[in-house]
Structure formats: structure tokens, C-alpha cells
A and B are shown apart, each in its own frame.
Chain A
Amino acid sequence: MTFRTRLLLIFTVAVVASVALVEWLVTDSTRQAFERMETQRVNGLVAQFRKEFAQRGQEIVRAVNGIAASEAAVNIAISADYSPYYNEAASLAAAHGLGLLELVAGDGTIVSSAEWPARFGYKEEWLAEPADWEARGAFLKREELPDGVTVSLVAVGTARAGDRKLYVAGGQQLDREFLSSLLLPEGMRVLLYRNLEARFSPAELVGGRADDLPRVRTLIEQVQQRKREIGRTLGSGSSAETFHALPLTGYQNDLLGVLLIASSRRELVELESVLRRTGVGVAAAGILLGIALSWWATARVTRPVQRLAESAARVAAGDWGATVESSSTGEIGQLARAFNRMTRELVAQRERLVQAERVAAWRELARRLAHELKNPLFPLQITVENMQRARERYPEQFDEVFREGAATLLTELANLKQIVGRFSDFARMPAPEMQPVNFNGLVSETLKLFEPQLAQARVRADTALDPQLRPVQADPEQMTRVLRNLILNAIDAMPEGGTLTVRTSALEGGVRLEVSDTGQGLTPEESSRLFTPYYTTKTHGTGLGLAIVQSVVSDHQGRVSVESAPGKGTTFLIELG
């Protein structure tokens, strides 16, 4: 990953994180504000509903008191025989808009019942209890009806005639009809759970939808346990509703029902959704803008660094004169200037080094030439001096001395010629002529040529040739020369005799050639300088043999290396292909 990409990534992450944090903070604070507003709205609606509920209770109280104050009620109260009035409650209830009405004698005996006409003569024990029913107003009561038990909102009035009195107990069932008659604000609905069974009974949930049951059950059970108002938001999305569950207690403080006032959160959810979408849009735009700015800033920051890196790469590739243009005055500018100084220094040092190496090479060449030429020159000088001495002192032997001296001179001149030829060969190394070469055959043939020399030097030649080796593209003549040089080098390395081992092994599309000796080995310093032209550890030789090996292998796009340690012999490894 480039420095520019990494920097851009860091900037992008920073921008995204910052925008997301700001977006979250803004959204959360806005949502909380809306939640507070929603809570206030719901509380207002609940209060409005309570008022409506209380008003309905007051209407019932008015109707009941109206009946109690009517002439019909007084007539019943003073009647000695209640039997003619057993059907009176139904007509009175219908006339006053009450769903439930019972006329009860002072001793608690039912005179007439609108909701259950057959109950005449039965006792309403709770009415006979001492209580100020008028002061109590409307209250909730568990009501038994022919088709079951229900919860009702009732009030009790009393018709008095002298010492006789008639209770008028009337009201409305808290059923679906009652709930639907309540004036509810927009977005609000009311459910009623009648707490008539010991356990939760789905049949007692009035006014709900089919999907309400599983949602409100837990809420109802909590109210049943705690007997206090509980508020919860149930559902999700635009179908979510805020439920206020109010315990409905009877006149004996027993829990008769749970009133569930549900307020839709649709508007709030939609508003929050709009806010969220807007926030996401703004955040996305901010992030895109941030990324664009980051891109620009990154490019601006990394451009000098990139130039620096490119220049460094050019230097590494050998272009020592590479420089960096920078107009910056900051750290990057200082770095660019330092780099330019460094490359200038490197060029200067390199030139100095080349010059020094050139001088050293010339010196080495001169030393080598002097050394190589000195050996044949000394016999030449001795031979010429012998010939002069023989002419002056022993003229009779001059011819013989001349013949021997001429032969010696010719031999040494041949040596000189050979030395000059080697130097000439190294200077004029030809380009390889590539063709498929069987290296196993090449090794065998070359070793055969050296058999007399090996025998003379008491060196045993071993081979380990890979039969799987296939012909490899190479110049056979140059590779023979390489192998010859390495064999000669090995023979020289084992003056006391030893073992020469030549191995071949197949590489993928190439060959690995190893030439090992069991000589004294090389020091690390000798190993590092081994392929330097004119360098030799021997007392004779031009120091060009291994340089030629390296030159040939390099021309074949191969690699040559040496593994050696003092006392453990030396192995040359050549890899081609």
C-alpha cells in the first residue's frame, strides 16, 4: 500500500468517524427532544381520556340520580308489594340511556333488574352495606350477567319515601360498545382487559386487534402484579404505539381491569425517519467532501515524498545523479535537499572509488604483468648472459651454448606469448552462441581430457550426474572453458592430491553444476575477492580464470557462487536456466 493510499485511508477513516459521531449526536439529541414532545403529547391525550372517562361517570351519576328522584322510583319505594314493578328497570334504563339498572329495596332485595330480569327477589348484599353511595360517584364494579361476568361503571342513587328507600344502581358495561362511544383524540385507541379470571384470558381483552394480544399480554400481567400505571412502547417502526396501562380498581380496591390507552407513534416515527434520511444524506455529502479534500491534501502532501521515492528508486537502479525538485520549505523540502546532497556526495564518492579502483586495478595488472613477465625474462637474461659469456670465454662451446640458449629463449618467448594471449582472451570475450548442451556429456568429456593431469596430481575424479538432466541452452565451447578453469583451479587447490567431485542436477528449465575439491579451502575475504580479475591466491597464474568463469556465466544469464571454509575444501556452484 502506498504512502498516499495509506494517508488517504487514514484521512477517510477520520472524516467518516467524525461525521458519524456528529450525525449520531445530532440525531440522538433530536430524537430525545422529539421523544419528550411525544411524551408530553401522550400525557395530554391520556389526561384528556381520563377526563372523558370521568365525564362518562358523571353522566351515569346524573342518570341514576334522575331515576332515583323520579316519581316512579318513589312510587316503588313506598309500595308494599314490589311484584308489579319487576319489569320496571328495563323501561327506566332505556329511557335514561343506561345499559345496566337495578332497583333494589332497602334490605338489598332486587325489585327489578334491567340486565337480568330473572334476578328479582335475589339480594344485592353489597348495596346493603353502609356506604355513602352518593358521595362515591361513579365507580367500577364486577357485574354478573346471564351470559357471564363483566366489568361495569356504575353509580348508586337512593329514592327515599319516609323511612323506606329504594336503591337505584345503574351504569354501563365496560365493553366494546362503551369503548367505541368514548371520544378519542386522533391517533389514539383504547383497549380494555377485564380482570375477571385468575389467569390471563385472551377473551377478556376488549377493543383490540388480533395482533394486540401477544404485545399487550406482558404489560397487562405487569399491571396485575404491580397494580400501578405502566407505560411502554410496543411494536416497531410506524406501527409502534405507546401504551399507558391504567389499573381499574373497584369500590373495594380490587383490580377489575386494565385500561390500555394506545397512542400511535406513526407521526413521530415518520418525522424521525425524515430526520434520519436527511442526516444520512448530509453525512454522506460531508463524507464525500471530506474524502475529496483528503484526496487533494494527500496528493499535496505525498507528491514530494513520491518524487523522493522515485528518485531513490532511480538511485537504487544506478542513476546516481537523480535529484528531487522541491520548493517546499518544510520538513519535506529539507528532506529533498538532503537527498540531493546525498546523491551528489554519492556520485562524487563513486567517482573517487572508481578512480581508486582503476588505479588499484592498474597497479594489480602491473604487478601481475611484472610478476608474469619477470619469470620468463629472468631465464632470457641468464641465457643471453650465458651466450655472451660462452662467446667471450668459451668460443669452442659457443655453438652448443647457442643452440641450448636459443631453445630456452624460444621456450620462454612462447611463455610470454601465452601470457599475452591470456590477457588478450579476457579482453576479447565473445558473445555466447546458444545451443542445446548435454551437460552430463560435457562433464564426462572434459574430465577425460584432464585424466593425465589428475593422475599426475594424485587427484581422484568423482562424478554425480543427474540422469534426468535434459539439454540446456548454452554455448558448449564457453561452458567447456568454464569447466576446464574450475577443474584446473581445483587441481591447483589440492597440491597434495585429493578428490575432485563434479555434480549435475536438473533445475526447472536449467542445470545446476557443482565442482568441489578437498583442498585447504578459502577464507571469507578470499571468497569475496575470488572473481575479481587478476586476483589469485596462487603463486602462478594470471588471476583471470575465475573472472572468465563469472563473465561466461553472466553472459548466459546464470549465477555463480562459491562455498568454502578453511580446511574444508571449496565448492563452486553454477546455475543456468
Chain B
Amino acid sequence: MRLTLSPWFAACSLALAALAAATASAATRPHYGGTLYVEVRQSFETPDPPTTGYGMPDLARAFVITRWEAGRRAVYEADENTAGGRPFLDAVEIEMGRPLRDQSIDLELGKADVVELGPSELRRQPAGRRVWGSAPVRLVALVFGPRVEDARIREALALAVDRAAIHNVLLQRQGEVSAALLPQWLSGYAFLFPVVADAAKARTLVAGIPAAARAISLGVEDAAARPIAERIALNARDAGLAVSVVPQAAGADARLVEVRIGSLDPAVALAGMAASLGLPEPPRANSPEALYAAELALLGGFRVIPLFHLPDVYGVNPRVKGGPGITPLGEWRFENLWVEGGRP
């Protein structure tokens, strides 16, 4: 089997171009000023601001934290001495733990400049609304705990899930349906993993299993993901599995989790995802074939069932200029942005 490498190279080229542009323009960057108001759903309850991961940690490149209210608010101010030159913005003020619906309203009312958009909110945005979107970098997957020992049950659930219906309705066709860990744009072979539901085959698999063993608890900590979990439970019911959705992931038989791609290098990204999902470390792959084989091996036991790859999507206030403010991997790049006028 031969695999095309074009999406992989395209992603790498895109990232390198963005990095070069930022470096070249830093020396001549004007001082436009202004404060960028950002709202996020995630809430960091830590004593100090996060330094790894995506989002706020990305600001450390050109801003310094000046105010930190754990779980509520963070204020970053422009770093006059940053290597790439002072950012246009004077400050970035972030409000944490804001529900998607409220973020959308705040954007509509002009109280926020940059907000996250979920599938439903994205659909409701007025025509002409400026939207930043990353590549599908977030993997939504089912991860089984050690209690679900029977592989037939795991495979049956993988076969029962109607990904297309969830994608069309609950995700409003955002992102892409996938049964692979790495997205199609990064690996180029994700389409080889079957995504079509087969409830009949799933029923056959679980036919001989006692009813008690067919009862599974599915933990979902993110309330926004609960409709997806409910739909999975309904699909599982058609296959003869009794899936109950619980709000606590700890102690559940299975979890609905979201994992981000950490690198534009597919092999590195696969290794990172395997580590995040509790899978064995895959062998270092030097070719797409080897990478495919490694991913196939990781998914062979149905311990992890990939469902979707979703992009990061942000709604942007028209007064925000410059950008886009995110990279294809969803990293924040606010140093090239500025806002018109004062605080709304």
C-alpha cells in the first residue's frame, strides 16, 4: 500500500511559513496598543498560570503575566523585551470558566474580542462573522478502563457508534469523523480505519456475553460532551450493551476524552497521543507505512476508539485586527494582533 504524504508536508510548510513571517515583521512592528479580551471555557484552578499546553501558555512568548486569579481571570501585559519585538497589544485579559453560550453572547454584545465557538454557537453566528479555525487537532475518543476485559464488548461498542449522525447533528459537521488517532491531514492514512457503524455485527459480538458484563459506565466530565455520550449510549443500546453516562470519569468503565495533537511530526504526535491515552509507546516510524502499522497496532485491542477530530474555532470581534491569531495546531499567536478603539 502506498500512502500520499502531501497533507503532512502541507502542514509542515504552513507552520514554517507562519514562523518566518512573525520573525521578519517583529523588527518593524508598530505600537497599536489596546487590550484584547479573551474568554475561554477551561478553568485553571492552579496557584500559578499554566506553562505547558495550548492557549495561555502560548502567550509567554510575547507577554508576561501580571495578574492571576485562579479559575477566574488572568492578565498578560506586553513584554517590552521579547526577542521578536514588543507585541502590538498592550495587554491580553482572559476570563476563564465561561460557558460557550455566554461567550457567544458576550461576543455578540461586544464584551469580548475572542471567544471559543462550539458547534451550536458556530451555527448561530451572524453572516460575516470573523472566525478563526485550526486544523482538526483535537481527538475525541472512547478510552476503556481495565475493568472492561472482554474485547468483544469494546469492539461491539466501536461498531455500534454512529459517528456520522453525531458529526452531522451534534457537531454540526465540524471537524471530521475518524477511527484513527492521527487526523487525515497529518497522517494521510486515517481513511483506512473504518468509521461505518454496524449494529448487527455488534449485536452478534455481544450475544453470548452475560447481561451483567454488558453494562458499562461511561464517564464524561465535560458537560458539553455529554450529548455525544448520550448518543453513544443510545447506539450501544441498539447493540445490546447497557451504557450509562456518569459525570465522573474516575471509576467509570470507559471515558469520553479529548486529546490534542502535540506536534506536526506524525510520529511524535502519535507517540504523544499514545502516552496521553495510556497506550503503549509505539515504535519509532520512519515511513508512513510503519506509522500506519504502529497506529493499527495501538488500536488493535479496542482499548481506545477514536471518534472525531475537531478543530479549535474562535469567534472574533470585528475590531480585532491582524491575525489570524491561532496557528493550524490551535496555538495562540496574539502578538500580531491589535484592537481598534478603547475598551468596549
A residues apposed to B, CB below 8 Å:
82-84, 86-87, 116-122, 146
* Cβ-defined contact, B169 with A119, below 8 A: no
Q: Does B172 contact A (CB under 8 A)?
A: yes
Q: Does B234 contact A (CB under 8 A)?
A: yes
Once A and B bind, how many residue pairs between them come within 8 Å at the CB atom? 28
Closest to A84 in B: B123
* Cβ-defined contact, A117 with B172, below 8 A: no
* Cβ-defined contact, A86 with B170, below 8 A: yes
The 15 listed contacts between A and B (C-beta, < 8 Å) are A82-B169, A83-B169, A84-B123, A84-B172, A86-B169, A86-B170, A116-B234, A117-B227, A117-B230, A118-B230, A118-B233, A120-B169, A121-B165, A146-B230, A146-B233
Main secondary structure of the interface of A (DSSP, over half): loop
Apart from A83-B168, A83-B172, A119-B234, list 12 A-B contacts with CB within 8 A: A83-B173, A84-B123, A86-B170, A87-B120, A117-B227, A117-B230, A118-B227, A118-B230, A118-B231, A118-B234, A121-B162, A121-B165
Per-position 1/0 for B111-152, Cβ under 8 A of A: 000000000100100000000000000000000000000000
Closest to B123 in A: A84
Interface centre among B123, B173, B230 (most CB of A within 10 A): B230
Closest A-B pairs by Cβ, 6 of them: A118-B230, A118-B231, A83-B169, A118-B234, A86-B169, A121-B165
In the assembled complex, the Cα of A72 lies from the Cα of B231 at a distance in Å of: 25
In the assembled complex, the Cα of A87 lies from the Cα of B169 at a distance in Å of: 9
In the assembled complex, the Cα of A118 lies from the Cα of B234 at a distance in Å of: 7
Per-position 1/0 for B155-181, Cβ under 8 A of A: 000000010010011101100000000
Question: With a CB–CB cut-off of 8 A, which chain B residues contact A116?
Answer: 234
Question: With a CB–CB cut-off of 8 A, which chain B residues contact A146?
Answer: 230, 233-234
Question: With a CB–CB cut-off of 8 A, which chain A residues contact B234?
Answer: 116, 118-119, 122, 146
Looking at the assembled complex, report how far the CB atom of A135 sits from the nearest CB atom of chain B, in whole angstroms: 33
Main secondary structure of the interface of B (DSSP, over half): helix
Looking at the assembled complex, report how far the CB atom of A515 sits from the nearest CB atom of chain B, in whole angstroms: 111
In the assembled complex, the Cα of A116 lies from the Cα of B235 at a distance in Å of: 13
Interface centre among B120, B165, B233 (most CB of A within 10 A): B165
Question: With a CB–CB cut-off of 8 A, which chain B residues contact A122?
Answer: 234
Question: With a CB–CB cut-off of 8 A, which chain B residues contact A119?
Answer: 234
Question: With a CB–CB cut-off of 8 A, which chain A residues contact B169?
Answer: 82-83, 86, 120-121
In the assembled complex, the Cα of A86 lies from the Cα of B231 at a distance in Å of: 12
Question: With a CB–CB cut-off of 8 A, which chain A residues contact B168?
Answer: 83
In the assembled complex, the Cα of A87 lies from the Cα of B231 at a distance in Å of: 13
Per-position 1/0 for B68-101, Cβ under 8 A of A: 0000000000000000000000000000000000
In the assembled complex, the Cα of A116 lies from the Cα of B230 at a distance in Å of: 9
Interface residues of B, CB < 8 Å — how many? 14
Question: With a CB–CB cut-off of 8 A, which chain A residues contact B170?
Answer: 86
* Cβ-defined contact, A120 with B172, below 8 A: no
In the assembled complex, the Cα of A127 lies from the Cα of B233 at a distance in Å of: 24
Looking at the assembled complex, report how far the CB atom of B276 sits from the nearest CB atom of chain A, in whole angstroms: 27
In the assembled complex, the Cα of A87 lies from the Cα of B162 at a distance in Å of: 18
In the assembled complex, the Cα of A295 lies from the Cα of B196 at a distance in Å of: 105
Closest to B124 in A: A84
Closest to B245 in A: A146
In the assembled complex, the Cα of A576 lies from the Cα of B123 at a distance in Å of: 136
Question: With a CB–CB cut-off of 8 A, which chain A residues contact B231?
Answer: 118
Looking at the assembled complex, report how far the CB atom of B222 sits from the nearest CB atom of chain A, in whole angstroms: 16
Closest to A85 in B: B169
In the assembled complex, the Cα of A23 lies from the Cα of B172 at a distance in Å of: 83
* Cβ-defined contact, B165 with A120, below 8 A: yes
Looking at the assembled complex, report how far the CB atom of A149 sits from the nearest CB atom of chain B, in whole angstroms: 13
Closest to B170 in A: A86
In the assembled complex, the Cα of A117 lies from the Cα of B165 at a distance in Å of: 13
In the assembled complex, the Cα of A82 lies from the Cα of B123 at a distance in Å of: 13
- Near A by CB (< 8 A), chain B positions 195-243 give 227, 230-231, 233-234
Looking at the assembled complex, report how far the CB atom of B128 sits from the nearest CB atom of chain A, in whole angstroms: 19
Closest to A81 in B: B168
In the assembled complex, the Cα of A207 lies from the Cα of B227 at a distance in Å of: 32
Interface centre among B169, B227, B230 (most CB of A within 10 A): B169
Question: With a CB–CB cut-off of 8 A, which chain A residues contact B120?
Answer: 87
Question: With a CB–CB cut-off of 8 A, which chain B residues contact A86?
Answer: 169-170
Looking at the assembled complex, report how far the CB atom of A198 sits from the nearest CB atom of chain B, in whole angstroms: 17
In the assembled complex, the Cα of A327 lies from the Cα of B172 at a distance in Å of: 122
In the assembled complex, the Cα of A118 lies from the Cα of B220 at a distance in Å of: 15
In the assembled complex, the Cα of A122 lies from the Cα of B165 at a distance in Å of: 10
Question: With a CB–CB cut-off of 8 A, which chain A residues contact B227?
Answer: 117-118
Closest to A120 in B: B169
Interface centre among A86, A118, A119, A120 (most CB of B within 10 A): A118
Looking at the assembled complex, report how far the CB atom of B147 sits from the nearest CB atom of chain A, in whole angstroms: 23
In the assembled complex, the Cα of A84 lies from the Cα of B120 at a distance in Å of: 8
Question: With a CB–CB cut-off of 8 A, which chain A residues contact B162?
Answer: 121
Closest to A87 in B: B120
Closest to A112 in B: B169
Question: With a CB–CB cut-off of 8 A, which chain B residues contact A87?
Answer: 120
Question: With a CB–CB cut-off of 8 A, which chain B residues contact A121?
Answer: 162, 165, 169
Closest to A82 in B: B169
Question: With a CB–CB cut-off of 8 A, which chain B residues contact A117?
Answer: 227, 230
Closest to B229 in A: A118
In the assembled complex, the Cα of A121 lies from the Cα of B172 at a distance in Å of: 14
Question: With a CB–CB cut-off of 8 A, which chain B residues contact A120?
Answer: 165, 169
Looking at the assembled complex, report how far the CB atom of B204 sits from the nearest CB atom of chain A, in whole angstroms: 21
Looking at the assembled complex, report how far the CB atom of B73 sits from the nearest CB atom of chain A, in whole angstroms: 31
Looking at the assembled complex, report how far the CB atom of A170 sits from the nearest CB atom of chain B, in whole angstroms: 20
In the assembled complex, the Cα of A65 lies from the Cα of B263 at a distance in Å of: 55
Question: With a CB–CB cut-off of 8 A, which chain B residues contact A84?
Answer: 123, 172
In the assembled complex, the Cα of A365 lies from the Cα of B123 at a distance in Å of: 158
Looking at the assembled complex, report how far the CB atom of A319 sits from the nearest CB atom of chain B, in whole angstroms: 107
Question: With a CB–CB cut-off of 8 A, which chain A residues contact B230?
Answer: 117-118, 146
Looking at the assembled complex, report how far the CB atom of A203 sits from the nearest CB atom of chain B, in whole angstroms: 18
In the assembled complex, the Cα of A84 lies from the Cα of B233 at a distance in Å of: 21
In the assembled complex, the Cα of A87 lies from the Cα of B121 at a distance in Å of: 13
Closest to A116 in B: B234
In the assembled complex, the Cα of A118 lies from the Cα of B231 at a distance in Å of: 5
Looking at the assembled complex, report how far the CB atom of A88 sits from the nearest CB atom of chain B, in whole angstroms: 11
In the assembled complex, the Cα of A120 lies from the Cα of B170 at a distance in Å of: 10
In the assembled complex, the Cα of A83 lies from the Cα of B166 at a distance in Å of: 10
Looking at the assembled complex, report how far the CB atom of A102 sits from the nearest CB atom of chain B, in whole angstroms: 14
In the assembled complex, the Cα of A481 lies from the Cα of B231 at a distance in Å of: 135
Looking at the assembled complex, report how far the CB atom of A50 sits from the nearest CB atom of chain B, in whole angstroms: 37
Closest to B173 in A: A83
In the assembled complex, the Cα of A146 lies from the Cα of B236 at a distance in Å of: 12
Looking at the assembled complex, report how far the CB atom of A192 sits from the nearest CB atom of chain B, in whole angstroms: 26
Looking at the assembled complex, report how far the CB atom of A205 sits from the nearest CB atom of chain B, in whole angstroms: 25
Question: With a CB–CB cut-off of 8 A, which chain B residues contact A82?
Answer: 169
